[in-house]
Structures are given as C-alpha cells and as structure tokens.
Amino acid sequence: MRYRVEVHADAHTRLKAMAEDVLRGLGTRPRSLPPKYFYDAAGSRLFDEITRLPEYYLTRTEDALLDRLAPALMRALEPRDVVELGSGFSLKTRRLLEARGGGALRYTPVDVDETTVAASAERLLAEDPALQVHAIIGDFERHLVHVPAPSGRRLVLFLGSTIGNLDAPARQALLAQVRSLLHRGDRLLVGVDLVKDVAVLEAAYNDAAGVTAAFNRNILRVVNRSLGADFQPEAFRHHAWYNAAESRIEMHLVPETRQTVHIRSLDLTVRLEPSESIWTESSYKFTRASTRAMLAAAGLRLDAWHTDVDKRFALALAGPTSRAVAARAPRAA
Ligand SMILES: C[S@@+](CC[C@H](N)C(=O)[O-])C[C@H]1O[C@@H](n2cnc3c(N)ncnc32)[C@H](O)[C@@H]1O
C-alpha cells in the first residue's frame, strides 16, 4: 500500500480545539485568532493564489533556491524518509523528491488541511513509482508524536516561512520536537523570510489585487461555518504592517463600524469597536544570527545558509547537536 493517511484531528476534536482557541482569542486583548484557521479548502486555494502574486516574493525566491540546491543536497544526504510540516500543495517538495533520482522514499506530510494533502499525495504518487506517502492530518504543534519511526536517513522540511507564523516560545517548543525526530546524519531544512526593506515587506502582504485581504477575511468565514457565528467578513478591513521592534509583519482585521457578533456554539456575543482589531497572523522575519540562535536553543546546529542574491529569503540546513533539548510534551489532542 503506497498511500496511508492518519487523521489526528477529526472533525469533532478540531471543533473542540477551535472553540477553545476562539473563546480565548476573542476574549482577551488584543483580540486574536490563530492563523491555522485560515486553511480550509478555500483558504488553501487563496494561499496558493498569493504565492503567485507579483508582490509575494517569498515562494518564488524559495522555489528558485530549492531548484539550485536540490541536486547537491539530495546527493549529499540521500534521504529515505522525508517529513514535511505544513506541506500544503507540496509543490516545492516535488523539486527535492525529483532530484533524488528515484530511490525508495517515504514522504510524511503533516498538515491540518486534509483535502489539500490528499490531492497532493495523489499527484506525487502518480508521478513517482518509488514513493510511499504516510500522511498525518493534524496540528504540527500537537501531533508530531505520531510521525512514524524513520525508514532511513531523514530530512525534515519546514518550508514557506511557516515557522515565522509562530511566536518565539511556540517556535522553540516546535523545534525541540523536531529535534527529537532527528538522529545523527538527519537534517532539517527550514525556509525563513529575512529582515529587509519595509516597503518590500509590506507590499508582500498588501497586494494590489486584494487576494491577501480575501485570505485574511476567510478566517471569519471558517469561524462562521464551524461555530455558527455571524461575522460579516466584508465589514472588516485588511490591515498588514511591519512591526520593526518585533521583526514581524502583523495581519489584522479592523471593523469598519461597530460590530456585534454572535457565536452560537460558544453562546457568546462579542462587541467590536473600530478602534480594536482582530490580530490574525504574525509573520516573523529573521537574520542569519537570529536563525542560528533559534536553532541552537533547540539543540540544532546551523550547517548551511543559502540566500538569493537580494538576500530576501533563506534556506537554513540544520543537524542535531549531541545535546538534545527536552521537547515539551505536546498538549493532548
Ligand atoms: C504558509 S502555508 C505554506 C505551504 C507550503 N509549505 C509552502 O511552502 O508553500 C502553511 C501551511 O501550513 C499548514 N498549517 C498551518 N498551521 C498548521 C498547524 N498548526 N499544523 C499543521 N499544519 C498547519 C497550512 O494548512 C498550510 O498548508
């Protein structure tokens, strides 16, 4: 059997976790919603559209870096086991899988969006007869314990600057878990977006076609459908800006006028003033030094650092140091 899927976040568990997150996020100031709830099938499609926007340099730049690096990287590592966190459409992953030259390999995508993972797996399996896919549908912050034992040398991928959506404590907790998936000779390849000119950064999250705004508002549609809420997404303005003190883009939804929102399954009424936004995403930006420090704190050593000529984006290759860091026990699902 070449395709196996484990669902660790079934509909009931997911709804329960979302109810807790929404209650906590909207009940505290500043109000917030966790970015993982952008990604229903429509959210994944909108993100895919974002990746092709002229202003959104991240995907293009990372893809070109992978294109350049893949052959030498795969020759040097010869991985037989590739685990990918937040795999989405696995488009860039294809470059790496193709570059291995066809030996047996097990690919373990870990993502919350089952529809997208299933479609990507089907395409990869059709193209690659030596591939096995063991998909894990779940939250990479909670469910990495379910990643199967390695089938050979392992390469863990965390691409697309998704690590930047986590704040520092969450990054550390996740990287410590990733460290526990690695043995000597295994590697982590992580894509990080770099600190740069504010105008370039802000343009990437404020595209002229309004796709990022639609993606941002989609989180309200997900909450409406899942928890019986009555947000009017179009009554919220998309606002994304670079917070230089924290090295992060912040994405917010700002009510145009006072909004009263009922969330049926939480039996909750929320009143939102135009002066208070809902913070939906952070996208942290890194330097080589901050990436090295972040990896080191999780028991990982920066082995190689690859950037494009404009130093917009970097791929960091890391290996485990002998000093393992205690991985925080993941919360029960
Ligand atoms: C920014 S996209 C990147 C997708 C792809 N890796 C790329 O580079 O284009 C983030 C992906 O991570 C997934 N994701 C976000 N938060 C997640 C979480 N906590 N657990 C599992 N998957 C998550 C989303 O469903 C989405 O596919």
pLDDT at 269: 97
Q: Is residue 211 part of a domain?
A: yes
Of 52, 90, 111, the residue with max ligand 1 atoms within 8 A of its CB, to mutate for a pocket test, comes to: 111
Cβ atoms 159, 191 nearer than 8 A: yes
Pair 261, 270: CB distance under 8 Å: yes
For the record, the structure tokens of 77 come out as 């590592």
Query: What domain range includes position 99?
Result: 1-229+285-333
Rounded to 5 degrees, φ, ψ at 88 are: 55, -130
Pairing status of strand 236-243 against strand 131-137: unpaired
Rounded to whole angstroms, the Cα distance separating 268 from 26 reads 10
* pLDDT at residue 110, as a whole number: 98
- Ligand 1 centroid–CA 244 distance in Å is 24
Residue 163 lies in a domain: yes
Amino acid code (one letter) for 113: D
Parallel, antiparallel, or unpaired for β 278-284 and 248-255? antiparallel
Which residues have any ligand 1 atom within 6 Å of their CB? 36, 39, 44, 47, 51, 59, 86-88, 92, 110-113, 139-141, 159-160, 162
pLDDT tier for residue 329 given thresholds of 50, 70 and 90 = very low
Nearest to 104 by CA among 123, 80, 121: 80
Q: Is residue 268 part of a domain?
A: no
| pLDDT score for 11 | 83
Quote the number of domains for the chain: 1
Instruction: Tell whether 295 is covered by a domain.
Output: yes
Query: Do residues 299 and 177 lie in contact, with contact meaning Cβ atoms separated by under 8 Å?
Result: no
Q: Give the mean pLDDT of the chain.
A: 95
Going by pLDDT thresholds of 50, 70 and 90, the confidence category of residue 327 is: low
* 47 or 333, greater pLDDT: 47
Classify residue 331: in a domain, yes or no.
yes
How far does residue 18's CA lie from ligand 1's centre (Å)? 16
Mean pLDDT value of segment 252-268: 98
- When pLDDT is cut at 50, 70 and 90, the band that residue 14 belongs to is confident
Query: Of 108-122, 211-225, 311-325, which range is least confident?
Result: 311-325
Q: Where are the alpha helices (DSSP H) in 144-280?
A: 168-179, 198-204, 211-227
Does any domain span residue 216?
Answer: yes
Q: What is the mean pLDDT of residues 294-317?
A: 98
- pLDDT per residue as tens digits for the range 43-75: 999 999 999 999 999 999 999 999 999 999 999
Q: Assess whether pLDDT exceeds 90 at residue 322.
A: no
What is the C-alpha separation between 253 and 235, in angstroms, rounded?
9
pLDDT at 278 over 70: yes
Probe residue for ligand 1, chosen from 6, 36, 93, 124 as the CB with the greatest number of ligand atoms within 8 Å: 36
pLDDT above 70 covers a percentage of the chain that reads: 97
- pLDDT digits over 164-209, tens only? 999 999 999 999 999 999 999 999 999 999 999 999 999 999 999 9
* 193 vs 188: CA distance, rounded Å: 16
Question: What pLDDT is attached to residue 283?
Answer: 98
Is position 208 within any domain?
yes
- The pTM score is 0.94
As a whole number of Å, the end-to-end CA separation of the chain is 27
pLDDT value at position 333? 36
Q: What is the pLDDT of residue 10?
A: 78
pLDDT band at 32 (very low <50, low <70, confident <90, very high): very high
Q: Is residue 214 part of a domain?
A: yes
Which of the four pLDDT bands, split at 50, 70 and 90, describes residue 326? low
> Ligand 1: which of 90, 112, 193, 215 to mutate, judged by most atoms within 8 Å of the beta carbon?
112
Q: What is the CATH number of the domain that holds 308?
A: 3.40.50.150
Burial of 29 (0-12, 13-18, 19+ CB in 10 A): exposed
